[in-house]
Amino acid sequence: MAELRYNPLLDDYTMVAGSRDKRPNMPKDYCPFCPGSGKVPDEYDVYKYDNDFPMLSTNPPQQDDVAGGPYHTKESYGKCDVILYSPDHNGKLWELSEEHLIKLVKLWIDRFTEISEDSKIKYVFPFENRGAEVGTTMPHPHGQIYGYSFMPKMVDIELKNAQSYYENNKSNLYDDMLAEEIRFKDRLVYENETFTAFIPFFAQYPYGIYIFNKCKLSSFKDFKSEHIKDFADILKTIVGSYDILFNRDFPYMMGIYNAPVNSEEYSDAEDFFRFHVKFFPPLRGEHSIKWNASSETAAGAYGNPRVSEQTAGELREAVERFNETH
């Protein structure tokens, strides 16, 4: 049982993969991502690992005959990579050297490029889930990359809004947002030559940092050596500052957003879209969680119990402390 099931209420698809329910519980003294497991090379810095229980595959099974009426299915075509950041089971992204982080960014770029070459893929999405608070069961430092054969709904909404803004205002929404955050200053967290990190005016999560680029990059394919170095720097600084903020491993979900691929509808995305990163951290305090309750989950109407200008100030102080010691 593996297919894409159409949701007519949202004009969207749900990825269904019944085989994932058969994922075994790993023994406490075993990790498939560690050297010596037999699953990965005995020596590596960063590594692309084929997901053992993928939601999507390039050889999907036949869909189940269960659709009818307003419902239909599509084959669960796509790609699911696991990206291993380090061979160190207890390592942290911010502990990696600049050279090591550059290798990680280059691996993301290589995988983005290769997955994009498949004409059936419409969107390539690198992401990371970190911490038990967001459901992570494998502590070994890693992220994932999904190549979707459909356009994910939230990405599609953002693209349509950015496209409309460009047509109506003759300017790029991401550039204008960044210009306003830089003008206002109080929500800025950290910046280097290429990237700026800030908590946006409308933040849905108290410590939800966005990273925008200043160089009109639309996707990984636009990166040059200086952009790779700056991207490694800002990721190291932000993740390290998160951990320093409450002196603990800081949980988050992180999405890396590139322009669509193989898309006629968004063939001009380079005009109105910009490469960016979003963090979705569930903490609202050292020991308190900002749960997504009924308003957020059932209606999609978010509420933030903290003010962006205040939490950005806390994170700027954390950045200063991180930079003093690293």
- Give mean pLDDT, residues 254-279: 98
Active site amino acids: 142
- For the segment 33-81, what is each residue's pLDDT rounded down to a tens digit? 999 999 999 999 999 999 998 999 999 999 989 999 999 999 999 999 9
- For the segment 111-132, what is each residue's pLDDT rounded down to a tens digit? 999 999 999 999 999 999 999 9
State which of 1-5, 17-21, 173-177, 288-292 shows the largest mean pLDDT: 173-177
Would you state the pLDDT for residue 79? 97
Would you state the pLDDT for residue 25? 63
Residue 152 belongs to a domain with what CATH number?
Answer: 3.30.428.10
Give exposure, 103-126, as e/b (b: 16+ Cβ within 10 Å). bbbbbbbebbeebbebeebbbbbb
Would you state the pLDDT for residue 24? 53
Rg (CA), the chain: 20
Would you state the pLDDT for residue 137? 86
Q: Would you say residue 1 has pLDDT above 80?
A: no
Give the pLDDT band (50/70/90) at residue 277.
very high
Count Cβ atoms below 10 Å from residue 244 Cβ, excluding itself. 22
The one-letter amino acid code at 251 reads P
Would you state the pLDDT for residue 120? 98
Count the alpha carbons within 13 Å of 217 in the hemisphere toward its beta carbon.
26
Would you state the pLDDT for residue 23? 57
Would you state the pLDDT for residue 245? 98
Q: Would you say residue 186 has pLDDT above 90?
A: yes
- Give mean pLDDT, residues 243-268: 97
Q: Domain range for residue 136?
A: 2-325
Domain tally, the chain: 1
- For the segment 16-36, what is each residue's pLDDT rounded down to a tens digit? 987 655 555 666 789 999 999
Would you state the pLDDT for residue 28? 76
- Give mean pLDDT, residues 88-100: 97
Q: Would you say residue 232 has pLDDT above 90?
A: yes
How many percent of the chain have pLDDT more than 70? 97
Would you state the pLDDT for residue 159? 98
Q: Would you say residue 151 has pLDDT above 60?
A: yes
CA angle 221, 225, 226 (to 5 degrees): 110
Q: Which helix (H) or strand (E) holds 74?
A: strand 73-74
